[in-house]
Amino acid sequence: MCGIAGIIRFSGLAAHERAAGQAMASLLKHRGPDAHTGYTDGIASLGHTRLSIIDLQEGHQPLANEDGTIHVVYNGEIYNHRALADDLRRRGHILRTRCDTEVIVHLYEEHGPSFVEHLNGMFAIALWDAPRRRLLLVRDRIGIKPLYWYEDEDRVVFGSELKAVHAAGVPRQLDPHALCDYLTFGHVPAPRTIARSVRKLEPGTMAVCTAGGTQLRRWWDIPFDDNASDGSHVAAFDADDWVDAFEAMLADAVRMRMIADVPLGAFLSGGVDSTAIATAMCREGSGPVMTHTVGFDEADHDERQAARQVATLLNTDHREVMVRSDAAETMLTLTGHFDEPFADASALPTYHLSEVTRRRVTVALAGDGGDEMLAGYRRYRFDMAEAAIRNRFPAGLRRFVCGSAGALYPKGDWLPRALRAKRTLENLACDDITAHLRSVALAGGALPALLLEPSVIDATGGYDPFTRGRDLFVRCPSRQLLNRLLYVDMKTLMVDDILTKVDRASMAVGLEVRVPLLDHRLVELVGRMPVNLKQSGPHNKIVLRRTLARWLGPQIAQRPKKGFDIPIDAWFRGPLRSLAHDTLMAPDSRLRQWIAPGVVRSMMNDHRKGLSANGPILWTLLALELWARHDASQSCTELNEPARECVHAAEAEVVA
């Protein structure tokens, strides 16, 4: 795992830019503490920081082909690199290392831009083809690894994190549309970033940059096959056959991700996803797997006992870490790593879990992706039930009856769950995708209108944060509702929340996290699978549970999902109450430029009195305030000081 950064100026780099790539990469040393190198040729300046995983001695980047005309920096792992290297050698290519990076440049020589289709892995790649004066920026199929980029009339700037891009003098002006996105979803979805001029490269996308401009092309998308998934063409491929195929492919995906020249372990929560990964590792390995879990004092959020049971059953070398409310100080640390406002509070336990894991291993396997791929969230069950009711009534009647009833029904977080019907009524008045997006969004998507000053809303020109989700819903090749909802979530929530959280929290401590469930072959298999093997009635992740039942028995396989989150409502009524008040109500609060303090104060008071469960909203506002303070302290229009200090050393070390 690594950090990459660089500048391409097609008219020729200015003198101070020749070492800028390496200087920018110096801000990413947490991603790659083992080496810091660069390359320049007068047009391109590339920088790289390395976390050594494979071929520890020789695999330094930037790495070139035989004649030094093509250079690559990349972040990630290519799991099938050994087979690719063998094939390249048979074709006459000379490879000098055992590392996966070198495979990329030779595949490009062999196949051109379509080289990426041969890779199985997680990656963000920047490849500079000097003879063609062409830069390729590539992001992996699923979006496991991040890549930020900026372009103007003459240059392209890129980096693994936003801070590296800003270090090159890229403008930091806030995008009010992104602010609406953040208050809706708790993160800023790709391709937008919080900075108006910087973009995230989307998953499965390649940017081909030349002096004449940039072309974006989608080189992979999540496939679905309704001929299989509607159940009408599976007579020769029954449920057991699907489970057989899933089991074999999952085992192979885990096997490929156990290749490393450094110690390797796993995250273990006790849920079925991480349990399946740890089990597959134990079935494959020769010694005890090192597993790690995180716990809370609050019993309804604590999974230590379940994880211990699995660890005992698998005979793993198990460790635990506790997270308490004082760990909220970690927010300050994480703010500097996310670079954008980010409100998923589970980033805290993920960071502490990564920290304790990194003390023993350099690589950890995790179970992320199973909920989005196999309908693991409870909301999918509600989505399907609501859709069944919608189909019984005309849309106009639903909008009038359910919409009116929902508007009149009281919002009572203090009511028993069975009586909290307001959101259900409002959802029944909507179409399928809008109802789903409301279930994903904070406060049903109402926060921008509720919180933002009118001037900020006016600046967005009537922007609707649900637009991207609706567009993806239409784009999905499947016509089955569950598949379409999974497609939307895998393209948005999973990438910009779940995978972003894991990447930043783990890279902050120099830990590489690999996610076998998101092997693209497994994703493609599940895309062809009948939907009743993903979710059916109250049951979810059916094919995964059947696989796990084969390995460990039905009791472990049928464990219910327990969300990986923190006791945020309790903390804001107790130990975080003063912190929230003192930070959000401070006279110099930076939120005041966007949000009226009276609305925030009212939310805090209602939460304290138990009238509303506003913990997630307060966390969202607190994260936004901390980001705004941090961003203001980092604001600049040229290479910032940490990078500037590196320039002179980089000029001496850079490969000419």
- Region 317-334: mean pLDDT is 81
- What pLDDT does 159 receive? 97
Could you read off the pLDDT of 389-408 as tens digits, one per residue?
Answer: 888 876 666 665 665 655 65
More confident residue, 567 or 248: 248
* Rounded Cα gap, residues 642 and 492, in angstroms: 33
More confident residue, 184 or 299: 184
**Which pLDDT band holds residue 169 (cuts at 50, 70, 90)?**
very high
- What pLDDT does 194 receive? 97
Instruction: Give just the sign of the alpha carbon dihedral 527, 364, 107, 210.
Output: positive
Could you read off the pLDDT of 527-586 as tens digits, one per residue?
Answer: 999 999 999 888 999 999 999 999 999 999 998 876 667 788 888 998 888 888 999 999
Q: Quick one: DSSP state of residue 147?
A: -
Residue with tokens 């500048």: 7
- What pLDDT does 57 receive? 56
More confident residue, 221 or 631: 221
**Which pLDDT band holds residue 224 (cuts at 50, 70, 90)?**
confident
**Which pLDDT band holds residue 654 (cuts at 50, 70, 90)?**
very low
Could you read off the pLDDT of 460-481 as tens digits, one per residue?
Answer: 999 999 999 999 999 999 999 9
**Which pLDDT band holds residue 409 (cuts at 50, 70, 90)?**
low
Q: Residue 96: is it exposed, middle or buried by C-beta count within 10 angstroms (0-12/13-18/19+)? A: exposed
Question: Does residue 496 have a pLDDT over 70?
Answer: yes
* Rounded Cα gap, residues 269 and 305, in angstroms: 9
Could you read off the pLDDT of 66-99 as tens digits, one per residue?
Answer: 889 999 999 999 999 999 999 999 999 988 888 8
* Rounded Cα gap, residues 373 and 516, in angstroms: 12
- Contact of 2 with 75, CB cutoff 8 Å: yes
Task: Give Cα 292 to chain centroid, integer Å.
Answer: 21
Question: Does residue 648 have a pLDDT over 60?
Answer: no
**Which pLDDT band holds residue 414 (cuts at 50, 70, 90)?**
very low
More confident residue, 397 or 612: 612
- What pLDDT does 642 receive? 37
- Region 237-241: mean pLDDT is 87
**Which pLDDT band holds residue 328 (cuts at 50, 70, 90)?**
low
Cis peptide before 171 (omega within 30 of 0): no
- Contact of 381 with 481, CB cutoff 8 Å: no
Could you read off the pLDDT of 127-162 as tens digits, one per residue?
Answer: 999 999 999 999 999 999 999 999 999 999 999 999
**Which pLDDT band holds residue 230 (cuts at 50, 70, 90)?**
very low
Question: Does residue 641 have a pLDDT over 80?
Answer: no
- What pLDDT does 298 receive? 65
Please name each of the domains of the chain with its CATH number. Answer: 2-220+638-653 (3.60.20.10), 226-296+303-321+339-375+489-557 (3.40.50.620), 378-481 (no CATH), 568-634 (no CATH)
Q: Tell me how far CA of residue 218 lies from CA of 116, 137, 213, 226, 488, in angstroms.
A: 11, 12, 17, 22, 16
* Rounded Cα gap, residues 629 and 636, in angstroms: 14
Percent of the chain predicted with pLDDT > 90: 67
- What average pLDDT is seen over the chain? 88
Phi, psi of 161 (to 5 degrees): -135, 160
- Contact of 540 with 534, CB cutoff 8 Å: yes
- What pLDDT does 426 receive? 78
Question: Does residue 651 have a pLDDT over 50?
Answer: no
- What pLDDT does 638 receive? 44
**Which pLDDT band holds residue 236 (cuts at 50, 70, 90)?**
low
* Rounded Cα gap, residues 83 and 413, in angstroms: 56
Indicate which residue of 2, 99, 209, 282 is catalytic. Answer: 2
**Which pLDDT band holds residue 210 (cuts at 50, 70, 90)?**
very high
pTM: 0.91
- Region 18-29: mean pLDDT is 92
Question: Does residue 439 have a pLDDT over 80?
Answer: yes
More confident residue, 419 or 630: 630
For the chain, report the end-to-end CA distance as a whole number of angstroms: 24
Question: Does residue 434 have a pLDDT over 50?
Answer: yes
- What pLDDT does 300 receive? 65
- Region 225-246: mean pLDDT is 72
Q: What's the one-letter identity of residue 611?
A: L
- Active site includes 2? yes
* Rounded Cα gap, residues 143 and 126, in angstroms: 15
- Region 46-63: mean pLDDT is 71
- What pLDDT does 256 receive? 95
- Region 296-311: mean pLDDT is 80
**Window from 78-82, 271-275, 427-431 with minimum mean pLDDT:** 427-431
- What pLDDT does 234 receive? 45
Q: Tell me how far CA of residue 548 lies from CA of 108, 169, 274, 290, 616, in angstroms.
A: 39, 51, 11, 20, 33
**Which pLDDT band holds residue 262 (cuts at 50, 70, 90)?**
confident
Question: Does residue 116 have a pLDDT over 90?
Answer: yes
Q: Tell me how far CA of residue 255 lies from CA of 271, 365, 390, in angstroms.
A: 21, 11, 45
- What pLDDT does 74 receive? 93
